Structure 1
């Protein structure tokens, strides 16, 4: 039994939510998001709350129940507050800069890497060693941050590379002479 799925989702003030069959739509101050709920889960909007429940007690229906509720919470949070991920760059000569709307990364390659921001994602560089990825869609923000990190992930010997803010890198000891 899903403990998360049992709780109804309250629609925050300033957000207009609607349920049309399996499509949940939320409009808020930051924009509009839609989520298509799996057919094995039933969604209802009653008294300013969105209730989610499985259509039957199969294992797949129960497994998609809590995930569907969490996705609905994420779209409601996205249209009100938005989401952001911070990345840090460590390494001599490693830096980031904005080139118009594109992110230009110097990561020790023979050329700079240019990352084009996807639709709905905003990238900011407050310092040359810090990147902030923000937007209203939590999945898209996380995907963009992961793609940037993938260019040069942190290595375990000196910790050089791009990492999430607050991420702990397990360091290895070098070879003994």
Structure 2
């Protein structure tokens, strides 16, 4: 049995979970999310607990059991608390500023890099070297943060670039002197 799949999902107060066929809809104070699920899995809601069960031990059912439970849990946390991913700019002259709802990044290129804010995501810039990507969809928050990081990934010699807050950059030594 899947260790993740058999754990029940606690539904906090203010969050409404609806199962419609093979679609799960989660509504909360921050918004609404929906997810299609594998048709063989059954979802039952008792009180403030949601459980995911599988009918057999086929490979596909076992693989999707824990995945479905994790996706539903991420939706419940997203609509109740939301997700935040922090990014940090390191390097001389590397700066970020908010122009309207878009990010304008100065990353050492001959031009500023502009990132548009997608629907469901908000950018926060506490100072000119930090970015917070916020949203209710965990996958979307991580994807947008990865796209921003991809504009200038950290390099291993000086550590310049955009990296996640708390990310450790493995450093390399430069040329060996004679």
TM-score, scaled to structure 2? 0.96
Residue aligning to 1:101: 101
Cα deviation, residue 146, structure 1: 0.4
1:15-30 correspondence runs (5 A)? 15-30=15-30
What secondary structure sits across from 1:84 in the alignment? strand
1:118 CA displacement: 1.0
Separation in 1, partners of 2:96, 2:40 = 45
Instruction: Note the residue ranges of structure 2 that are not aligned, 5 or more in a row.
Output: none
Partner of 1:35: 35
For the 8 Å contact 1:22–1:43, the answer to whether it is kept is no
Q: Which residue of 2 aligns with 1:128?
A: 128
Unaligned runs of 5+ in 1: none
Whether contact under 8 Å (1:117, 1:144) holds in the other structure is no
Give the superposed CA RMSD.
1.0
Q: Deviations over 1:30-69 (max 9, x none)?
A: 1111111122422222233211022321112101110110
Q: How many residues align?
A: 177
Measured in 2, the distance between the counterparts of 1:106 and 1:38 equals 44
Is the contact made by 1:103 and 1:116 (CA closer than 8 Å) also made in structure 2?
yes
Shift of 1:165: 0.1
